[in-house]
């Protein structure tokens, strides 16, 4: 437990350090990252790059993670953050949500949202190819092994990409996406590489939670996609096919539900979720 706390603490420090550096020297200038929130106040999207850089750096420096898993986690974090940043900074098209972006692609319109879907999907497949397989088919023929390997790659890639997209769906209120990520903190209690990756994901989020709750900054697609992709990589590295299919079913179900149901309204109607969602946030405007 102490080691996991050290990992999480190191990730928090890395994310805060990246935050301070980016505030002093924002890429492309401060105005590029500024947005106006629902209060009419100016905030910055630099929290997303800070999370991405901090989590990636902490992953590299964390011991006890095999080289290929570590590489996969960095690819997931940086890939999710990069394609999220494209949509944050250069958004084109009016369609929202996964269905909207896929609909635009089907009509031959490549928007930044569609590019993000394709890019994060490709990132997920790269991660799936990097993470060592957990299947056991030594007695099977080459055809069965080949089909099984292809299936595992597709499932793992979908878990990573789907997790990145789902986390972004929660980034609609101050601190909400980070709080969702912190719900996975108990999974960091083990000594496995997956547990260490969860510790990094949660630690980096915790380090930036104060500025998020204060509405000085927001994760945006950049940070939310990076966090989701990193947690997805942790799941892929720690679970076999059945476990990953279970995760994919939950992620897919929630993503489909989001097209019909507002998560914000569900949270507002559920007392426990509402209290957790509002914890630490500034009072709503009257």
Per-domain boundaries in the chain: 2-278
- Phi, psi (deg, nearest 5) at residue 131: -75, 125
Q: What is the pLDDT of residues 202-227, one digit of tens each?
A: 999 999 999 999 999 999 999 999 99
Cα 217 versus chain centre, distance: 17
Round to whole Å and give the CA distance between 277 and 237.
29
Q: What is the mean pLDDT of residues 138-166?
A: 80
The pLDDT confidence band at residue 136, using thresholds 50, 70 and 90, is very low
Neighbours of 261 (CB within 10 A): 11
Q: Which residue has the higher pLDDT, 258 or 200?
A: 200
- 3-class DSSP assignment, residue 43: strand
Closest Cα to residue 215, out of 37, 30, 19?
A: 37
Mean pLDDT, the chain, rounded, equals 88
Closest Cα to residue 198, out of 180, 186, 212?
A: 186
Q: Is residue 80 scored above 90 in pLDDT?
A: yes
Q: What is the pLDDT of residues 260-283, one digit of tens each?
A: 899 999 999 999 999 999 999 988
Tokens of 109: 């319109």
Q: What is the mean pLDDT of residues 62-83?
A: 96
Alpha-carbon radius of gyration of the chain: 19
Q: What is the pLDDT of residues 93-134, one digit of tens each?
A: 565 656 665 566 666 666 776 778 889 999 999 999 999 865
Q: What is the mean pLDDT of residues 3-25?
A: 94
**Portion of the chain with pLDDT greater than 70, in percent:** 86
**β-strand pairing of 34-36 with 42-44:** antiparallel
Cα 19 versus chain centre, distance: 18
Q: Which residue has the higher pLDDT, 49 or 241?
A: 49
- 3-class DSSP assignment, residue 42: strand
- 3-class DSSP assignment, residue 44: strand
């Amino acid at each position: 437990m102490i080691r996991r706390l050290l990992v999480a603490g190191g990730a928090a420090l890395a994310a805060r350090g990246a935050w301070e550096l980016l505030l002093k020297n924002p890429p492309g200038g401060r105005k590029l990252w500024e947005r106006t929130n629902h209060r009419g106040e100016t905030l910055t999207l630099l929290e997303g790059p800070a999370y991405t850089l901090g989590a990636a750096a902490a992953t590299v420096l964390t011991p006890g993670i095999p080289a290929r898993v570590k590489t996969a986690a960095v690819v997931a974090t940086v890939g999710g953050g990069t394609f999220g940043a494209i949509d944050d900074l250069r958004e084109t098209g009016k369609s929202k949500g996964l269905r909207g972006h896929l609909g635009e692609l089907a009509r031959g319109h490549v928007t930044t949202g569609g590019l993000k879907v394709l890019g994060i999907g490709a990132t997920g497949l790269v991660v799936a190819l990097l993470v060592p397989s957990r299947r056991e088919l030594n007695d099977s023929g080459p055809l069965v092994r080949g089909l099984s390997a292809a299936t595992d790659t597709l499932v793992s890639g979908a878990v990573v990409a789907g997790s990145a997209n789902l986390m972004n769906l929660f980034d609609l209120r101050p601190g909400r996406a980070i709080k969702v990520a912190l719900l996975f903190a108990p999974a960091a209690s083990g000594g496995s590489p997956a547990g260490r990756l969860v510790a990094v994901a949660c630690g980096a989020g915790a380090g930036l939670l104060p500025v998020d709750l204060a509405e000085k900054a927001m994760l945006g697609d950049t940070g939310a996609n990076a966090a989701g992709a990193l947690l997805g990589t942790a799941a892929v590295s720690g679970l076999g096919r059945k476990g990953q299919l279970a995760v994919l079913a939950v992620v897919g179900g929630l993503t489909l539900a989001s097209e019909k149901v507002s998560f914000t309204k569900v949270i507002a109607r559920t007392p426990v979720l509402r209290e957790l969602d509002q914890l630490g946030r500034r009072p709503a405007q009257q």
